[in-house]
Amino acid sequence: MSKPRTKVMTIDEVVAQLSDGMTIGIGGWGPRRKPMALVRAILRSDLKDLTIVSWGGADVGLLARAGKIKKLVYAFVSLDSIPLEPNFQRARQNGTIPEVVELDEGMFQTGLYAAAQRLPFLPMRAGLGSDVLVNNTWIKTVTSPYADENGDVEELTAVPALTLDVALVHMNRADAHGNATYLGPDPYFDDLFVQAADQAFVTCEQIVDTAGLTVDTAVQRLLISRMAVTGVVETPNGAHFTTCTPDYERDEKFQKAYAVAAGGSDEDWAAFEERFLSGDEAAYQSAVAAFAAEEAAK
């Protein structure tokens, strides 16, 4: 029986597909279901001058601290239980991200829709009257060709397509061909990210048979179709320290340690990097396990 092609690859093979200056969309939302194993792999690489498009959490903080970001497109950057992301704050206050595009969070979705639909823009109200349009003078408005019920002609924000070179997302389960499910409370916008990108890489907690994707799981949870997927990587605990409900919740203790180090002295951050980010993903996961054991013994 003929089967669609297999797209299983390694984290390092994904990173080898990336190049300097690329526009990379990172799925998830804030500190929720982020493809952190891939973010960590980018940190280990020589990649530079990236444009990062993200409803941001520690993905943005880490890449900013490492000096990887030339341009950042975001609507917020937050760790939720720690509202302000210290590495992002520091980068902004030191002016180390050369170009910054702050959008309304709904505009961000509209921009991804436009890209996924191969449109140059889509109209919406968000942005009008706010400093989003003042600080981003390249974002234009468009006049409706239709009068409204009062005879007024509305001018609306022409939200530009957020077209991506690459999308990186983390899902709960995927098959070897790129079909993938989310098992948590919210799909976020990972289907839009992959459709807005030329190449999309899906990491997941576990690769299963195609049939296994819908055993005990409603078909509506199949968010991503293999049509839009370039590669699949199994990265258990790969969203750590963000949520990957129901496989695991956010590692709040680790997040706190991250935030303390990020908000501390250069030495504090260097010690955190040395302990957790100096090796490969396996080294990271064992350092995290050791950290958890230490915390549990306290």
Partner 1 sequence: MTEFSRAEVCAAAIADAFKDDGEIFASPMGMLPMLGVRLAKLTSNPDLVISDGESLFLGGVPPLFAKADVVEGWIPFRRVFDVVAYGKRHVMMGATQVDKHGNQNISAIGDFAQPKRQLLGSRGAPGNTVNNRTSYWVPKHNTRVFVEQVDIVSGVGPARAKAAGPGASKYNDIHRIVTNLGVFDVKGADDTVRLLSVHPGVTVDEVVENTGFALEIPTDVPVTREPTESELMIIRNVLDPKNLRDREVPPVASTDAGASK
- How far apart CA 136 and CA 126 sit, in angstroms, is 13
- How far apart CA 234 and CA 131 sit, in angstroms, is 41
Q: Contact letters (x/-) for partner 1, 3-32, by CB under 8 A?
A: --------------------------x---
The piece of 8-16, 18-26, 179-187, 198-206 that touches partner 1 (CB under 8 A) is: 179-187
The piece of 14-22, 123-131, 201-209, 284-292 that touches partner 1 (CB under 8 A) is: 123-131
The piece of 11-19, 76-84, 168-176, 287-295 that touches partner 1 (CB under 8 A) is: 76-84
- How far apart CA 27 and CA 189 sit, in angstroms, is 7
The piece of 7-15, 44-52, 143-151, 161-169 that touches partner 1 (CB under 8 A) is: 143-151
- Residue ranges in 154-173 that form contacts with partner 1 under rule CB under 8 A: 154-156
Per CB under 8 A, 106 contacts partner 1: yes
Per CB under 8 A, 148 contacts partner 1: yes
* CB of 258 vs partner 1, minimal distance in Å: 17
Please say whether the beta carbons of 42 and 26 come within 8 A: no
The one among 48, 81, 84, 117 contacting partner 1 by CB under 8 A: 84
The residue type at 10: T
Per CB under 8 A, 126 contacts partner 1: yes
Per CB under 8 A, 92 contacts partner 1: yes
* CB of 161 vs partner 1, minimal distance in Å: 17
The one among 107, 164, 229, 262 contacting partner 1 by CB under 8 A: 107
Per CB under 8 A, 51 contacts partner 1: no
Please say whether the beta carbons of 173 and 206 come within 8 A: yes
Per CB under 8 A, 95 contacts partner 1: yes
Per CB under 8 A, 137 contacts partner 1: no
The piece of 7-15, 80-88, 252-260, 271-279 that touches partner 1 (CB under 8 A) is: 80-88
Per CB under 8 A, 93 contacts partner 1: yes
Locus of tokens 């899906």: 202
Binding site for partner 1 (CB under 8 A): 29, 56, 74-78, 83-84, 88-89, 92-95, 100, 102-107, 109, 124-132, 134-135, 141, 144, 148, 150, 152-156, 185-189
